[in-house]
Chains A and B, each alone.
Chain A
Amino acid sequence: MADTTRPQNRPHDVLVIGAGGAGLRAAIAARDAGADVGLVCKSLLGKAHTVMAEGGVAAAMAHVAPTDTWQTHFRDTMVGGKYLNHPRMAQLHAQEAPDRVRELEYWGAVFDRTADGRILQRPFGGHSHPRLAHVGDRTGLEMIRTLQDRAVAAGIQVYMECTITRLISGPDGVTGAFGYWRTTGRPIAFPAKAVVLATGGVGKAYEVTSNSWEYSGDGDALAYAAGAELIDMEFVQFHPTGMVWPPGVRGLLVTEAVRGEGGILKNALGERFMWKYLPEERRHEYAATDEEAARWVTALSQGKETDARRPPELSTRDNVARAIYIEVKEGRGTPHGGVYLDISYLPAEHVRRKLPSMYEQFKELADVDITAGPMEVGPTTHYVMGGVRVEPDSGATTVPGLFAAGEVAGGMHGANRLGGNSLSDLLVFGARTGTSAAALAATREGDPHLDPVQVQAAARDLAAPLEREDGEDPYAIQRDLQAMMQRLVGIFRVEDDLKEAVRELAALRRRWTKVKVTGGRAFNPGWDLAFELGNLLTVSEAITRLALQRKESRGAHSRIDYPHTDDAKWGKRNGVAAKAPDGTMKVYTTPLPKMPDELQRLLAGDH
């Protein structure tokens, strides 16, 4: 039996933390660039959050709508993000997504087809054209499996069920990372010339979420501790349609593809309420009547072009989530506190073919046949637009040697992400980041060195909750954190609540410093949680403090006390959270990068 407390040592040129779409794509790119790559993931390979993505990957390939271009995709993304996106990121994303999707096909992905045999694309909220390449409603599975197979064939070393707890830094920036094998509890150190964070999001800070246990903000917190800036963290996406019943499945995602295929939202009175909530300046993009919306759905299901405009349900996620919240709050909700989403008016066979996993999910988990009647849905915490500040072209963070890609990186999506843009984000910026991390690694001479003092401190911190004589159970603290964030920092926010949340977070952090874990080192979920809780507290504090700082409503951030969008004051500022020298969190704003004239012109007449 190996000594489970003595650290292993595994040097690599590039260490990628996280093996969802962004991590896998980064690892492949770094390997293609000649780097020796280590890929670390908390779960088994192929189980990361990307596998749950359903509706599709957004790329202006113009297979269904010939008039679609990167310029229209760019514009939709900026409009959806309420112009707070980093314009260069939105540009690169729109320009490169089609090639990244085609590349997946070249690696073996099998997307649904158009009548002329090309990759099929479906409509989605906020996208002006049918744009999402997809495989029924299991697009993420297809993507992660394709990337996984590619990474395995490339000979990338994968460390499964391994958690990174700390980045190790030297005078020239990050030099590696420290963590432990979840299976045995044995510590492991990774000296590396470049480190890529691809750890996904933060959804486990909330009670109702579509996210798994892995989404504990590890990358955000690791980067923050290493001195990086977190931006836009106040923008947390509440997906409009999560399951609300039965209780065991509350928060589980109901894909936007249901609305993309024609799903209608109604309140308990039978009113199609989304008509009321369309923002005036965008109303012209949507159907004017039920009849026009129905014509659009019919044309879509027959693969025909139409002059009908899209249904109101395809408004952006922030808007639909708010609408549902208000309908329920004002007493027009269903018995289980949601609204109805109905696709059952379309032929059953069509629904089963287009939405097979939704059909299964409702049949098996809720006894609801979605081809025969409506689903009950309500908002669920889904995605964080904010994250580690990165340089758009390279994915480099503000800390030398440290990169970030995918959900953990901030800037691409501004104040609200469009559905389908995360899968394209992780491909585009995963690839760019992996390439630039490998390029940096190639310039770093000699073997990477891990400061033994930091490694020992990390090992001590890791073991501490197991060695405490008494203290509090991590599960209890997590429950209290989730309930508090749900209550005080949810869809609608107000100054007093946010201030109370800051106080509560301080109290929760005090409890966390005394957390105690029972059991041993081998596969101990309580021990995993003890570490992850610290990260959740950090990201929760960043979300809360930045929500308090932004005195306006924009995208996914809605302030009851500041209900209007304040372009003059806030339209060109990113909120930033960073670690102060005394260890506390400081928040400030920085100006949004200036948009080049040629991009300005793409948005002209639209603001």
Chain B
Amino acid sequence: MPDAHLRVFRGSAGEEGHFDEFDVPVEEGMVVLDALHWIQGHEAPDLAVRWNCKAAKCGSCSAEVDGRPRLTCKTRLSDYDLEEPITVEPMRAFPLIKDLVTDVSWNYEVNKTIQPFTPPADVPQQDWRWQQEDINRVQEYRKCIECFLCQDVCHVLRNHETDKPFMGPRFLVRAAGLEMHPIDQADRREYLKDSGGIGYCNITKCCTEVCPEHIKITDNAIIPLKERVADAYYDPLQWAWRRLRGGGGATGAGVELPVLQGDARPSDQTAE
């Protein structure tokens, strides 16, 4: 088999960065992450790559291969023309740490602002019953492995288009999993509208295309959430009803999300 020719981004935060080129011997079934490991083990031991499971279950090894956001552990070299170089770069939406590793801690900060699962106080757990078909949809959202490729490809986040924060597809999926849980009691609609910026999503479906878990992010998570928000805030009857009820049950409203920065690393815990 011929060698694969990889162009790999090298550089650290605040540097210009460059591409190093490597010829990697190819074995059958090899994926891009295998090639990166070969480079670490033989030519560039300090090449920064994030990975864990190597089985598309942990979502650590996200990068951009020939410009497309991918899990490098399930991107096979045989899908590429090995006569041409394969370019591997870090995710662009997030601040660079080093080489292929970016600072994704912003995502963890956003996650903290979502009201967690809130079971009913008056139904004892031994009485909880629901059918498989009632949870199939929630289980689809919960397949998310937090690779953040959807966040990376989302043009709102990638191009830093807004001054106000947008939680991004990953966390709309998480919110959908909570909102549509059979017995969750929280109401996250005001949070989604005002804090999460759900209105920024204009349904281009790029996130769905890159999802390695094949979650139908836009159709099954974001659009139903948008409908719930619209029903609550833009349907005059519901709006009036909410005013009458005093808006009780709204949770997480008024929380401020951090804005994703393109260059700086706002959350570097090691700098304090």
Contacts and interface: CB of A to CB of B under 8 A. Distances in A.
Interface of A: 1-2, 4, 8, 43-49, 51-52, 102, 105-108, 110, 112-113, 116-118, 120, 135-136, 138, 140-142, 145, 149-150, 152-153, 158-160, 181, 183-184, 186, 188, 212-214, 245-249, 252-253, 357, 360-361, 364-366, 473-475, 479, 517-520, 522-527
Given A364-B56, A479-B41, A525-B45, A105 B146 contact: no
B181 A110 contact: yes
B125 A102 contact: yes
Contact of B45 (A102, A107, A116, A519): A519
Contacts of B178: 108
A288 to B, nearest CB: 33
B98 A248 contact: no
B142 interface: yes
A8 B46 contact: no
25 contacts: A8-B270, A43-B60, A47-B52, A51-B57, A105-B128, A117-B128, A118-B129, A135-B142, A140-B57, A181-B269, A183-B270, A212-B52, A245-B28, A247-B29, A357-B56, A475-B45, A517-B46, A518-B46, A519-B45, A522-B12, A522-B48, A525-B47, A526-B40, A526-B46, A527-B46
B138 A365 contact: no
Interface string B206-225: 00000000000000000000
A141 B31 contact: no
A526 B45 contact: yes
Given A149-B111, A212-B53, A360-B56, 15 more contacts: A49-B52, A116-B129, A136-B139, A141-B145, A153-B116, A183-B101, A184-B271, A214-B52, A245-B28, A248-B28, A249-B54, A252-B55, A253-B55, A525-B48, A526-B45
Nearest to A520: B46
B46 A475 contact: no
A51 B142 CA distance: 12
Contacts of B29: 245-249, 365-366
A212 B132 contact: no
B112 interface: yes
Given A213-B51, A525-B49, A364 B105 contact: no
Contacts of A357: 56-57
Closest 10 pairs between A and B when the two form their complex, measured CB to CB: A246-B29, A519-B46, A108-B117, A117-B129, A526-B45, A523-B48, A2-B271, A475-B41, A523-B98, A212-B52
Contacts of B135: 110, 113
Contact of A52 (B53, B105, B181, B268): B53
B30 A247 contact: yes
A462 B227 CA distance: 54
Nearest to A48: B52
B16 interface: no
B116 A108 contact: yes
Contacts of B142: 110, 135, 141-142, 145
B27 interface: yes
Contacts of B28: 245-248
Contacts of A51: 52-53, 57-58, 145
Contacts of A246: 27-30
A186 B56 CA distance: 30
Most buried by B among A45, A110, A120, A365: A110
Contacts, number: 182
B22 to A, nearest CB: 15
Interface size class of B (residues with CB under 8 A): 35 or more
Among B45, B104, B131, max chain A CB count under 10 A is at B45
Given A181-B270, A526-B45, A113 B52 contact: no
B76 to A, nearest CB: 8
A122 B101 CA distance: 39
Nearest to B77: A248
B17 interface: no
B112 A152 contact: yes
Contacts of A107: 117
A108 B181 contact: yes
Contacts of B181: 108, 110
B214 to A, nearest CB: 8
A8 B270 CA distance: 8
Contacts of A105: 125, 128
Contacts of B55: 52, 249, 252-253, 361, 365
B54 A212 contact: yes
Nearest to B147: A47
Nearest to B60: A47
A527 B48 CA distance: 11
A601 B49 CA distance: 54
B108 A45 contact: yes
B101 A523 contact: yes
A247 B55 CA distance: 14
